[in-house]
Structure 1
Amino acid sequence: MPAETPPSGRLLVEEDGDALVVRIANETRANALDDPILDSLVSLLEGPRAAAARVVLLGGAGDRHFSSGLDLGDRTPEELVARLQDGERRLGRAARAIAACPRPVIAVLNGAAVGGALELAVACDWRIAARGARLLMPAARIGVVYAPDGLRRFVAVMGPARTRRLFLSGRPVDADEAMRIGLVDEVAEPGDLWATAGEVAAAVSSAAPLAVEGTRAIIDAIVDRAPWELVEETAGAMRRRAFASEDLREGLAAVREKRPPGFRGR
């Protein structure tokens, strides 16, 4: 009798005003990242639903786990190596899709974030964590030398020394310590987490889309240590577009008339 195929995970996706809310759902495996989840995340973030939103919130289903990392399944050690390598490739594509998303992506760490799931969170523009959530990077403890693109993201948000400590010790950190070391940017009580994320999403959504896009592009160029000439070229193009936009005129008019602006992204 053939072995039963375990159910695959999925993404739960809904619009909440101008925000696209995405939850990783693989409840029987602590929201582990299987192939369908990673492939769906890439398709979603590169597709029209993300482009039509003003901001994306990425969290986990339930209240215990953001995600336990790559789903390696029940395989022999030999099979696990091949599975791990394929999973890393898919994870890398998903992290790049988050970083390249045309809209800001905010990680909502509603529970534990382990391994590759933590890399997805670090690829987001910033992270809001529930108090008590545990963050863990066990790569070295299982013999994995982490991919450089992933390590680069951690170094960018935490610095090299703290990245070394997180990766080489394999020691979990809770949300409050993660905030102290720069791994997360805000901590909320568990019952208030999604409301806090919604308030942040509303603030981002109310900003001028071209200004948001341009600012993100310039920051990314600086963080990636692009040649300063390229940073200035990127900034010049983004600033010229903003100065010529209808949104800038609308923003100035709104200030003068003491009313909320109605930005249209053009």
Structure 2
Amino acid sequence: MEPVVATGASLNVEDRDDGVRVLTLSNPARRNALDDGLLARLDAALEPAPHVRALLVRGAGGAFCSGYDLTHLGPPGAGGRLPDDLLVECLLKLESHPAPSVALVEGAAVGAGFDLAASCDFRIGTPNAVFLMPPAKLGIVYSPEGLARAARLVGVARAKQLFLAARKLSAREALEWGLLDDCLADAETRALALCATLAGHAPLAVSGMKESFGRLARAPLEEADRARLRGLRAAAFGSEDAKEGRAAFLEKRPPRFSGR
């Protein structure tokens, strides 16, 4: 498949002969930040196909993904749709994809980039990999799906450090915490070898066990809980603090939050 270009960003989709589909994010001006156009193309590339038996997700140019492009964020839209609904849906599709996935994390994995890596089944990082979750600095209540992914990987106490304290993790710390499965200079070779191994196993067995793990890991929220959390998120996205958080981030200055 050829690269598909959208609003200054591109997604390169390469189907290798060994059954591995390589998905490469490229948005050089914003360190591979995601926007809705790029997410739509990623979503399309995640449609299951018989010849795709493993997925490798990576970023171009030495960075994994710097998050969601903040210039595209804002208050909830018509009908109560939240600005990150497409992101949440796309990452759930990756997480539940029948083919196992490997994130090759080079450089920054921030916000949505952190969550993109967490949505994969395995994460192989380079020594310069960095993980950061900044929603508390942006006035945003992050999705319960993303919070749950991080908690499953590192535990609730450490997930609180990541989300509430916005603690930045080096590659070494990410490996110690279980966020990375491996960390080495030649991460690309290791990640492709793991993908080849996964692709070489029985597809029905792999997809069946992957779905089993997913079901065992999830404790479904009650509908009232979901409605409450969505209300909290909508209020945060529409708040003055969220507006100030985005402005401060883009202007590279400390935010001045008011609690409104």
* TM-score category of the 2 structures, normalised to the smaller one: 0.7 to 0.9
Normalised to the residue count of structure 1, the TM-score between the two structures is 0.75
Amino acid of the structure 2 residue aligned with 1:10 = S
Work out whether residues 107 and 127 of structure 1, in 8 Å CA contact, stay in contact via their aligned partners in 2: yes
2:202 to 199, 208, 217: 208
**Identical positions, percent:** 35
Which string of whole-angstrom CA distances, capped at 9 and with x for unpartnered residues, describes residues 170-190 of structure 1?
12111110011111111121x
1:66 to 32, 49, 64: 64
| Match of residue 44 from structure 2 | 43
Work out whether residues 10 and 36 of structure 1, in 8 Å CA contact, stay in contact via their aligned partners in 2: no
SS of the residue 1:52 aligns to: coil
Which string of whole-angstrom CA distances, capped at 9 and with x for unpartnered residues, describes residues 224-248 of structure 1?
147xxxxxxxxxxxxxxxxxxxxxx
In the TM superposition, 1:1-266 aligns within 5 A as 7-16=7-16, 17-48=18-49, 51-63=50-62, 65-73=63-71, 80-82=74-76, 86-189=82-185, 192-225=186-219
Which string of whole-angstrom CA distances, capped at 9 and with x for unpartnered residues, describes residues 136-190 of structure 1?
001111111111111111111111001001111112111110011111111121x
Structure 2: gaps (5+ residues)? 1-5, 221-260
Amino acid of the structure 2 residue aligned with 1:9 = A
State the distance in 2 between where 1:58 and 1:23 align.
6
State the distance in 1 between where 2:58 and 2:70 align.
21
State the distance in 2 between where 1:149 and 1:68 align.
19
What displacement does 1:82 show? 4.7
| Match of residue 250 from structure 1 | none
| Match of residue 256 from structure 1 | none
State the distance in 2 between where 1:87 and 1:37 align.
14
Work out whether residues 70 and 87 of structure 1, in 8 Å CA contact, stay in contact via their aligned partners in 2: no
Amino acid of the structure 2 residue aligned with 1:54 = R
State the distance in 2 between where 1:47 and 1:40 align.
14
SS of the residue 2:39 aligns to: helix
Q: May I ask how many residue pairs the two structures share in their alignment?
A: 211
State the distance in 1 between where 2:180 and 2:83 align.
25
Amino acid of the structure 1 residue aligned with 2:52 = A
How large is the RMSD of aligned CA atoms in angstroms? 1.9
Identify the structure with bigger relative contact order (alpha carbons < 8 Å, sequence gap 6+).
Answer: 2
Decide which structure has greater helix share.
Answer: 1
SS of the residue 2:104 aligns to: strand
State the distance in 1 between where 2:114 and 2:83 align.
14
State the distance in 2 between where 1:211 and 1:115 align.
33
| Match of residue 258 from structure 1 | none
Work out whether residues 12 and 24 of structure 1, in 8 Å CA contact, stay in contact via their aligned partners in 2: yes
Q: Would you identify which runs of 4 or more consecutive aligned residues in structure 1 move more than 2 Å?
A: 79-83
Work out whether residues 98 and 210 of structure 2, in 8 Å CA contact, stay in contact via their aligned partners in 1: no
Normalised to the residue count of structure 2, the TM-score between the two structures is 0.76
- The higher radius of gyration belongs to 1
Which string of whole-angstrom CA distances, capped at 9 and with x for unpartnered residues, describes residues 69-101 of structure 1?
00122x8xxx73358x74411110111110121
State the distance in 2 between where 1:220 and 1:29 align.
32
State the distance in 2 between where 1:80 and 1:88 align.
10
